[in-house]
Amino acid sequence: MKKKTNHYLSYLLATLSMIFAIFLDQYTKLLAVENLKNQAPIDIIENVFQLHYLENRGAAFGILQNQKIFFVIIGIIILIVALFFYLKMPHERHFIPLRICLLLIASGAIGNMIDRIRLNYVIDFFYFELIDFPIFNVADIYVTLSAGLLIVLILFYYKEDDLEMLFKLFSRKKNKEQES
């Protein structure tokens, strides 16, 4: 019984964390609209970092402009995959970093999907002028940081046995579904 209660508490904490992360993303976008739209960019660090309002109808570097349905479908797929892996992941402390990555990826996907569905574009406002990096937002930070952390975890933290166990766990469930 205690184990099941811990799982419910874990899911509740995960849900609340995602709600907070999505709220933070949406709130910063609201602030960007209220304070940056139709305004000159604001230098935070001159020639290095700016707050620069952009209505992004495509992906990074301006590719795939005006492909709302495509991006919503991709967002839904990313969300489903991240949540599937999160729910199937063992409830061991060892896998908490991986679970956090999956929650951040899902939160970022939802944050940008809300914009695409509601506005037909994503609000971006962070700009690294020094390296002319594409303008981005908080949801993009979630996805980028968690993808980077996933790479580090896979390369340096998780052992081959951990990864094999995860692959077997996911493939075993898939094989059981196919046998039914």
Which positions are catalytic? 124, 140
108 vs 141: CA distance, rounded Å: 8
User: Of 75, 69, 54, 62, which is closest to residue 120 (Cα–Cα)?
Assistant: 69
In this structure, the number of other CB atoms found within 10 A of the CB of residue 127 comes to 22
Question: Tokens 């971006």, residue?
Answer: 124
179 vs 173: CA distance, rounded Å: 10
Paired with 171 in beta bridges are none
Is residue 22 within 8 A of residue 103, CB to CB? The reply is: no
107 vs 46: CA distance, rounded Å: 31
Is residue 54 within 8 A of residue 133, CB to CB? The reply is: no
